Amino acid sequence: MAGIYLHIPFCKQACHYCDFHFSTLLQHRAPMIGALVRELELRADYLPEKKISSIYLGGGTPSLLDEAELHRLFDAIYRFFAVEEGAEITLEANPDDLSLYYLNMLAESPVNRLSIGIQSFREEDLRLMNRAHSAEEARKCLRMAREAGFESLTADLIYGLPGLTDADWVANLDQLLAMDLPHFSAYGLTVEPKTALHKMVRTGKVQVATDADQQRQFDLLMDMASARGYLHYEISNFAKPGKEAVHNSSYWHGAPYLGIGPSAHSFNGHSRQWNVANNARYLAALEKGEIPAEVEQLTPYDRFNERILTALRTSAGLSLSQLETDFGADWLQHLHAALGDVDAEWYQLQADRLVLTRAGRHFADRIASELFILADDDEPNA
């Protein structure tokens, strides 16, 4: 099981909260597509296995690509890799790009799943975030995506936005849940350094939600999603049974993936690497046939800590027997000892698995960090 991620590093405008890599200089798209194709070719042997079970076009804004650009990318993927029959092929899209004409074109392409960046159905939230779409476009595009034949749909919402009351959040969730999508994601707003939102907060222009506000809204989210039959299978992800995302699930289960494009990350089971987050430098390197990436060999500590971080975010939790097989009895013992410092209401030991409780899900990353082993810890031996 392996996946390919393509980073499309262009956006129409900068959302105020976003710290992903993108450029608004859309005129540089043509050379970028050429470079992405070249990178796909140069890295055809990166993955330990050639069979690809998921492809994800993310960004940036992949829905800015036209038919010819998408065709060039898929042509290269199918030329250099063995894409499994029925592989999940997702394209991230913004509502303002999704005309019925564009959706029909996508439905004819290899794309079989859309991830739509709704974020909110409230105009004031969309303005505050500097999103390029309106609330009406958000509502319309989900209906049209279905009309075009897309059954596999997911949408994102954000809670903890400045000024978003619990009632507003419930209304947003109501609208999304009424669409009965097979999958959706919901994220608590984080204020990242060097974003416009960070400056707005620092200068007192907006006030962000408190931890208590975010926790209440996360509770409302869990209650409402479960009442509608969604499985809360990862902290930020909800799916109808059997509709869990293949691509993201493979990240959480430690499967290898190839990341193509500026800022894209890759993992081949032993090392991690990340491409330069700069379009001009990426293009210049690929022109010379070079991959502009830094590589990090993962130590056993890195792999152990990452296993804990990702597994605890999932409803399946962490398999203790697998942890022992992969890292040894000393490491498992360390984990049991470290659990003594974690609030007993935040986790459960269910047979072979360590699983977070509902209360623990509020603190998943904090709990994981309590269980990490650092290279200079005395025990266990790596």
**Residue 95, interface with ligand SF4 (CB under 6 A)?**
no
Q: How far apart are CA 58 and CA 99, in angstroms?
A: 19
Among the residue ranges 8-16, 168-176, 191-199, 301-309, the one whose residues contact ligand SF4 (CB under 6 A): 8-16
Per the structure block, which two tokens stand in for 261? 């494009």
Among the residue ranges 12-20, 144-152, 264-272, 363-371, the one whose residues contact ligand SF4 (CB under 6 A): 12-20
Q: Which residues pair with 379 in a beta bridge?
A: none
**Residue 14, interface with ligand SF4 (CB under 6 A)?**
yes
| Interface positions, 109-128, toward ligand SF4 (CB under 6 A) | 117
Q: How far apart are CA 119 and CA 93, in angstroms?
A: 12
**DSSP structure string for 229-252:** T-EEEETTEEE-TT---HHHHHHH
**Residue 94, interface with ligand SF4 (CB under 6 A)?**
yes
**Residue 15, interface with ligand SF4 (CB under 6 A)?**
yes
| Options 2, 5, 22, 362; binder of ligand SF4; rule CB under 6 A | 22
Residue pair 183/240 in contact by the 8 Å Cβ criterion? yes
Q: Are β-strands 265-267 and 271-275 bridged in parallel, bridged antiparallel, or unpaired? A: antiparallel
* Cβ at position 20, least distance to ligand SF4 in Å: 4
Sign for the CA dihedral angle at 68, 74, 80, 85 comes to negative
* Cβ at position 373, least distance to ligand SF4 in Å: 34
How big is the CA angle at 151 (ends 150 and 157), to the nearest 5 degrees? 90
* Cβ at position 380, least distance to ligand SF4 in Å: 41
Name the residue nearer to ligand SF4 (CB basis): 22 or 238.
Answer: 22
Name the residue nearer to ligand SF4 (CB basis): 95 or 360.
Answer: 95
* Cβ at position 189, least distance to ligand SF4 in Å: 12
Name the residue nearer to ligand SF4 (CB basis): 44 or 208.
Answer: 208
Query: Which residues are CB-contacts of 176 (< 8 A; sequence separation ≥ 6)?
Result: 118, 121, 155, 157, 184
**Residue 60, interface with ligand SF4 (CB under 6 A)?**
yes
Among the residue ranges 54-62, 105-113, 219-227, 299-307, the one whose residues contact ligand SF4 (CB under 6 A): 54-62
* Cβ at position 310, least distance to ligand SF4 in Å: 23
| Options 23, 53, 54, 61; binder of ligand SF4; rule CB under 6 A | 61
Q: How far apart are CA 2 and CA 295, in angstroms?
A: 19
**Residue 56, interface with ligand SF4 (CB under 6 A)?**
no
DSSP letter for 200, please.
Answer: H
**Residue 161, interface with ligand SF4 (CB under 6 A)?**
no
H helices present in the chain, as ranges: 29-42, 67-80, 100-108, 123-129, 135-147, 166-178, 196-202, 211-227, 246-252, 279-287, 300-312, 320-327, 329-339, 358-361, 364-371
**Residue 11, interface with ligand SF4 (CB under 6 A)?**
yes
Among the residue ranges 15-23, 283-291, 299-307, 342-350, the one whose residues contact ligand SF4 (CB under 6 A): 15-23
**Residue 59, interface with ligand SF4 (CB under 6 A)?**
yes
H-run or E-run covering 117: strand 113-119
Among the residue ranges 16-24, 74-82, 279-287, 320-328, the one whose residues contact ligand SF4 (CB under 6 A): 16-24
Q: How far apart are CA 117 and CA 157, in angstroms?
A: 7
Q: How far apart are CA 266 and CA 260, in angstroms?
A: 8
Q: How far apart are CA 20 and CA 60, in angstroms?
A: 7
**Residue 360, interface with ligand SF4 (CB under 6 A)?**
no
Closest Cα partner for 221 from 187, 190, 252, 249? 187
Token match 């360590």: residue? 354
Q: How many residues contact ligand SF4, by CB under 6 A? A: 11
**Residue 18, interface with ligand SF4 (CB under 6 A)?**
yes
* Cβ at position 360, least distance to ligand SF4 in Å: 29
Name the residue nearer to ligand SF4 (CB basis): 103 or 118.
Answer: 118
* Cβ at position 59, least distance to ligand SF4 in Å: 5
Binding residues for ligand SF4, rule: CB under 6 A, are 11, 14-15, 18, 20, 22, 59-61, 94, 117
